[in-house]
């Protein structure tokens, strides 16, 4: 069927070939020392950060009263950082849309009393996975922020909270769908996203935060590395950052811009996911358990009738060059991750295999 390798892994994700080639080339360059040795406070890195901020502002139309920051590490650290920086001694709301939402809530409860933390609503436990009707949500009138995970990679559940709430107090973990569509920045107090899905490689977290949020009272035990104001004051360098992760992120932002921006990414994202969902909906073998309203554009999950068939599907797919399709150990099934670096041809190859496999069994 194919001799190419297509990586459908949930992350770190596939990168565009142009970004891979350019990053390999840059490793060999000297500025005047090799890129992997370059200091994070050099003029080269100062210019790189400024260019990244400028490009991200243009791509997402970020207003002037929002800051663009880059944190080291992973998204999980932000679950605690958000609570410590924005939720100290305040009432906060959390949407529970699945695994990562649960993790965020658990971290927040370490720093915010349960009497001040309200769960707005929770995803249904039985398929089709959905959220309660809007009138059944429990929104606090005085919430300092309302946190949500924009896309749950475990279940393939995508939630556009800004379509329902426009008060400017949303805080979003957009790790797995960041840079795949235009965003209503004004609806948010803060947006954060690990780079390793759609905007680079692991080690860097994009942060877009309202400037006045930097001056809010923080939890007294907030570590310096988790303090957003210190992150801003140090030019996103309160400690030595993963410089190469920044370089790849800069290349990804440039590539997205060259391809036509987030509008083009949104178009491709819809095309990729529609190809697989159409195949599933026309199939008697594959089943997706998410309500059509919340089907993820970037993580398409489906099950086969039994584990044996799923394992056979995954093994044969790998033999055909279709990698990373195994679902999470807690959910099982098959998961195709369709981030910005995934080509339409890769998805077409997967759909061709799905049809071939169904006809064979």
For 307-329, the pLDDT digits (tens) are 999 999 999 999 999 999 999 88
Average pLDDT, the chain: 95
> Token pair of 96, please?
């529970």
DSSP 343: -
Give the pLDDT score at 354: 99
- CATH code of the region 6-16+261-360: 3.90.1150.10
Whose tokens are 């309500």? That residue is 291
CB 328 within 8 A of CB 335: yes
Give the pLDDT score at 331: 85
Q: Which of these, 201, 207, 204, lies nearest to 174 by C-alpha position? A: 207
Going by pLDDT thresholds of 50, 70 and 90, the confidence category of residue 284 is very high
Residues 6+ apart with CB under 8 A from 33: none
Give the pLDDT score at 165: 86
Residue positions annotated with a catalytic role: 100, 173, 197
| pTM higher than 0.85 | yes
Question: How many angstroms separate the Cα of 227 from the Cα of each of 20, 48, 221?
Answer: 33, 23, 10
What is the Cα–Cα distance from 185 to 283, expressed in whole angstroms? 39
DSSP 74: -
Does residue 101 carry a pLDDT above 70?
Answer: yes
CB 207 within 8 A of CB 69: yes
In degrees, rounded to 5, the angle at the alpha carbon of residue 136 between the alpha carbons of residues 116 and 295 is: 100
CATH topology of domain 18-259: 3.40.640
SS3 37: helix
Q: Which residue ranges does the chain devote to CATH 3.40.640.10?
A: 18-259
User: Per-residue pLDDT tens for 117-170?
Assistant: 999 999 999 999 999 999 999 999 899 999 999 999 999 999 999 998 878 899
Query: Percentage of the chain with pLDDT > 90?
Result: 89
Q: Which helix (H) or strand (E) holds 73?
A: strand 66-73
Question: How many angstroms separate the Cα of 229 from the Cα of each of 47, 80, 211, 217, 238?
Answer: 21, 15, 9, 10, 10
Within a 10 A sphere around the Cβ of 361, how many other Cβ atoms? 11
Going by pLDDT thresholds of 50, 70 and 90, the confidence category of residue 253 is very high
Q: Which residue ranges does the chain devote to CATH 3.90.1150.10?
A: 6-16+261-360
Q: What is the CA radius of gyration of the chain?
A: 21
CB 115 within 8 A of CB 261: no
CB 291 within 8 A of CB 133: no
Going by pLDDT thresholds of 50, 70 and 90, the confidence category of residue 3 is low
> How does strand 92-96 pair with strand 146-149?
parallel
Q: Which helix (H) or strand (E) holds 256?
A: helix 243-259
Whose tokens are 């209503």? That residue is 184
Going by pLDDT thresholds of 50, 70 and 90, the confidence category of residue 1 is very low
User: Per-residue pLDDT tens for 182-206?
Assistant: 999 999 999 999 999 999 999 999 9
User: Per-residue pLDDT tens for 48-80?
Assistant: 999 999 999 999 999 999 999 999 989 999 999
């Amino acid at each position: 069927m194919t001799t190419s390798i297509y990586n459908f892994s949930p992350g770190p994700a596939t990168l565009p070939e142009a970004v891979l080639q350019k990053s390999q080339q840059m490793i060999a360059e000297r500025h005047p020392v090799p890129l992997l040795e370059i200091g994070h406070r050099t003029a080269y890195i100062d210019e790189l950060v400024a260019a990244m901020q400028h490009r991200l502002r243009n791509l997402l139309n970020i207003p002037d009263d929002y800051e663009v920051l880059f944190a080291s590490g992973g998204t999980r650290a932000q679950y605690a950082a958000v609570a410590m920086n924005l939720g100290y001694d305040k009432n906060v709301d959390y949407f529970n849309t699945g695994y990562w939402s649960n993790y965020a809530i658990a971290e927040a409860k370490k720093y915010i009393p349960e009497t001040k933390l309200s769960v707005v609503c929770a995803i249904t436990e039985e398929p089709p996975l959905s959220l309660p009707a809007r009138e059944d949500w429990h929104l606090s009138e005085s919430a300092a922020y309302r946190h949500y995970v924009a896309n749950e990679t475990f279940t393939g559940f995508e939630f556009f909270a800004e379509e329902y709430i426009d008060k400017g107090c949303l805080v979003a973990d957009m790790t797995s769908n960041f840079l795949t569509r235009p965003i209503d920045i004004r609806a948010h107090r803060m947006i954060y996203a690990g780079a390793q899905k759609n905007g680079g490689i692991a080690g860097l977290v994009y942060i877009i935060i309202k400037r006045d949020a930097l001056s809010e009272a923080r939890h007294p035990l907030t570590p310096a590395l988790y303090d957003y104001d210190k992150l801003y004051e140090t030019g996103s360098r309160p400690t030595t950052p993963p410089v190469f992760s920044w370089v790849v992120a800069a290349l990804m932002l440039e590539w997205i811009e060259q391809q036509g921006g987030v509008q083009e990414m949104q178009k491709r994202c819809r095309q990729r996911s529609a190809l697989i969902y159409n195949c599933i909906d026309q199939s008697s073998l594959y089943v997706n358990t998410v309500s059509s309203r919340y089907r993820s554009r970037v993580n398409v999950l489906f099950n086969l009738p039994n584990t044996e068939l799923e394992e056979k599907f995954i093994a044969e797919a790998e033999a055909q060059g279709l990698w990373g399709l195994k679902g999470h150990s807690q959910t099982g099934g098959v998961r195709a991750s369709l981030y910005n670096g995934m080509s339409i041809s890769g998805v077409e190859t997967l759909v061709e295999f799905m049809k071939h496999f169904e006809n064979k069994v």
